[in-house]
Structure 1
Amino acid sequence: MIRRATDLLGVLERALTVIAAICLFAIMTLVVVDVFMRYVLNSPLSFTYDLIGLYLLAGAFFLTLSDTLRVHAHVGVDVLASRFPPAGRRLSEIVTALTGLFVFVLISKVGFDRALENYEQHDVLSGAIPWPTWISAVLVPLGCGVLVLRLALQLVGHAVSLVSGRDIFPLPSVTDEARSFE
C-alpha cells in the first residue's frame, strides 16, 4: 500500500515539476523577448514584470517543493545522521517529517484561506492588465499541500519500517561529504 501511494504521488509530483519547468522556460523566453523589445525596438512589454513576479516564479518554486523532497534534493545537514544506526536515521526522518508537517500544514491552510479570499473579493493587481491574484495565491497551498502528502507518506513509511524492523520505506542515502567528516 505504501509503495502504491508513493508511485501515485510521484506521478503527481512529476507532473507539477513539468508545469514548473514550463514556467521557468516561459520566464526565460519573456525576459529575452522583453530585453530585445526594450533595447532594440524601444518598446518593452508592459506585462512581463507582473506575469513573471505574480505567476511564473510562484509556479516554478511551489510546484517543485514535493518532487525535490522525493528525490532528496533539498539542502540537508546529514553529518550527524550519517553516524546513526539505521533505526536512529529512521527516527531522525520521523522527527523531520513531523516538524515539516506542522509547518507546511499551517502554510497550506493560510495559503488556501488567502487564495479563497482573493477569489471571493475578485482581487486583481492594478496596472495595465488587471491580473487576478487568486491564481498566484492558489499555487502556495497547492505546492505545499502536495508536500504535506509527501511528508505524511514519509512519516508513515519510516514509522512502519522502524516498528517492523524491515526496510519497507527507503532511507535517504548518506552522502560522501557526510562520510568525510567521520
Structure 2
Amino acid sequence: MPPNDLDPQEDGVLSPSVGLHGPLGRAMDRVDTWANFLSRAAMTIMLVLILIQVFTRYILNDPIEGVIGATELYLMPIIVFGSLSYLEMYDGHVRVGILFEALPDKLRAGFNVVLRLAAAAFFALVCYGASREALKAWDYGYRTSGDIDAPLVTTLVIAPIGCVLIVLRLLVNAAGDVQRLRDATDRTD
C-alpha cells in the first residue's frame, strides 16, 4: 500500500482513497476486508498443516493424509481469490507507473475508469465460465480425486465468488474515479 493512496480516518486507521466513500463504498470495504481475512486465515492454516505434514513425515515417519489435497483444492484458491478485491481496494494491482503517473489528473482518472471497466468485464467473463463449470460439477455430481473425497463443486465455487467480489470492487472504484473526474471538472469550470 503506497502511502499516497491512503487517507487517514478520524480514528487513525488508514482507509483507501480510491472508490466511493459513501455507504456503498464502506460496505464494499467491509466485504473486501472480510474476504482478505479469510484469505489470511487460509494461508495460516496452510502453513500450520504443511508444518505438521513435514513433522509427521520426517520425524514420526507417519505422514497425515489430506494436506496436499486440502491445500490445492481449498486453501490456495481461497488465498488467491479472497485477496484480489482487497488489493484492488488499495489500488495495488500492477501498472506501468512511470507512464501512468506522468499523465494529467483528468486523463489518469479517465484511463482508470476505462481500465477498471475493462478489467470488470474480463473478471465477469471469468466468473461466468467458472460458474458454468461449478454448475456442471453440481449437476453431474462430480467428486474430487485424491486424498479428499468431496463434491467438486465445493472447490469450484471459490473462483466465481472471488470474481464477483473483484467485479464489484472494480465497479465501485470506477464510480469513485468518475466522481473524482466530475469533481475535478467542476473545480476547473
TM range (shorter): 0.7 to 0.9
**Aligned equivalents of 1:104 and 1:63: distance in 2?**
14
**Aligned equivalents of 1:144 and 1:27: distance in 2?**
22
Q: Percent identity at matched positions?
A: 25
CA deviation string 1:2-21 (max 9, x = no partner): 52111000000001111111
> Aligned pair in 2 of structure 1 residues 41, 77: CA closer, same or farther (>3 Å)?
same
Aligned runs of 1:10-159 on 2, under 5 Å?
10-159=29-178
The amino acid that maps onto 1:83 is A
**Aligned equivalents of 1:101 and 1:2: distance in 2?**
20
Residue of structure 2 in register with 1:173 after alignment: none
Residue 160 of structure 1, CA deviation: 3.1
The amino acid that maps onto 2:49 is L
Secondary structure in structure 2 of the residue aligned to 1:103? helix
Name stretches of at least 5 consecutive residues in structure 2 with no aligned partner: 1-19
**Aligned equivalents of 1:102 and 1:162: distance in 2?**
21
**Aligned equivalents of 1:126 and 1:69: distance in 2?**
34
**Aligned equivalents of 2:125 and 2:158: distance in 1?**
15
The reply to whether residue 161 of structure 1 matches residue 161 of structure 2 is no
The amino acid that maps onto 1:14 is T
Name stretches of at least 5 consecutive residues in structure 1 with no aligned partner: 168-182
CA RMSD of aligned residues (A): 1.7
CA deviation string 1:44-101 (max 9, x = no partner): 1121111100000000110110001111222222111211111011011012112101
Residue 164 of structure 1, CA deviation: 4.1
**Aligned equivalents of 1:54 and 1:37: distance in 2?**
21
> Aligned pair in 2 of structure 1 residues 24, 160: CA closer, same or farther (>3 Å)?
same
**Aligned equivalents of 1:115 and 1:143: distance in 2?**
13
The amino acid that maps onto 2:53 is D
Report how many residues are paired.
167
The amino acid that maps onto 1:64 is S
**Aligned equivalents of 1:137 and 1:2: distance in 2?**
33
Residue of structure 2 in register with 1:174 after alignment: none
Residue of structure 2 in register with 1:172 after alignment: none
Residue 112 of structure 1, CA deviation: 1.2
